[in-house]
Amino acid sequence: MVRACLRKKSILERALSTRRRLLSGPGVALALAGAGCGGAGRSSQRLSALPPVPRSHDVAILNSALDHEYELIAAYTASIPLLAEPGRLAAEQFLGQHLAHAGELAGWIEHARATASKPLSAYRLSRPRTSAGMLSALLSLENAMIASYLAAIPELAPGKLRANTASILANEAQHVAVLRSVLGRQPVASALVTGRQ
């Protein structure tokens, strides 16, 4: 692991800000449809309901999850220009989804009138030399993210907040299946998603 001086903070903040504007503005459907992100009603671009106001304990957990999402966003942002197809196409899709996760988490935190974490100015990322190596590194980060959400879910108090967090986790699980598939591995390694795939 080496310190990657990515200088991504402004890029991330700009991307998140844009994403939040998109998600909160009337143009969301048009913007997402234009980006080819139609979900046929089964996977949504937004959650169907805002969870109840999180408690301070929940806010700490959500901020920790948000920090992990920022790290994944930085990793995808750094990797995409160097990835070969079809991994690159998938990674571009997943980056947009992680931005949506971060925007949603930040929204929940702000709903509790708390301060959402900001992205760091740099992240310690591994620097694989091959496209496969980069996809493996992304897979590891996705699995760590899933493990983090699984640890968080029993700790969160409002049931709706637990369910919405699981909604994000399930999307990360899809990322894992696709990344494993692109890497030539069995896409689903076990019957339960535990973050160790």
Residues that bind another protein (CB under 8 A): 36-50, 52, 86, 89-90, 93-94, 96-98, 100-101, 104, 107, 146, 149-150, 153-155, 158-160, 162-178, 181-182, 187-188, 190-194
Q: Which residues pair with 2 in a beta bridge?
A: 125
In whole angstroms, the minimum distance from the beta carbon of 194 to another protein comes to 6
Are residues 121 and 73 in contact, defined by beta-carbon separation less than 8 angstroms?
Answer: no
Place of tokens 């310190």: 3
In the complex with another protein, the residue whose CB is nearer, 126 or 167, is 167
In whole angstroms, the minimum distance from the beta carbon of 50 to another protein comes to 4
In the complex with another protein, the residue whose CB is nearer, 3 or 160, is 160
In the complex with another protein, the residue whose CB is nearer, 137 or 163, is 163
In whole angstroms, the minimum distance from the beta carbon of 182 to another protein comes to 8
Separation of alpha carbons 132 and 182, rounded Å: 9
Q: What are phi and psi of 2, to 5 degrees?
A: -125, 160
Quick one: CA dihedral 55, 57, 63, 65, positive or negative? negative
- Cα diameter, the chain: 45
In whole angstroms, the minimum distance from the beta carbon of 143 to another protein comes to 11
Separation of alpha carbons 96 and 73, rounded Å: 9
Exposed / middle / buried, residue 144 (Cβ in 10 Å: 0-12, 13-18, 19+): middle
In the complex with another protein, the residue whose CB is nearer, 57 or 124, is 57
In whole angstroms, the minimum distance from the beta carbon of 5 to another protein comes to 29
Nearest to 125 by CA among 11, 2, 7, 9: 2
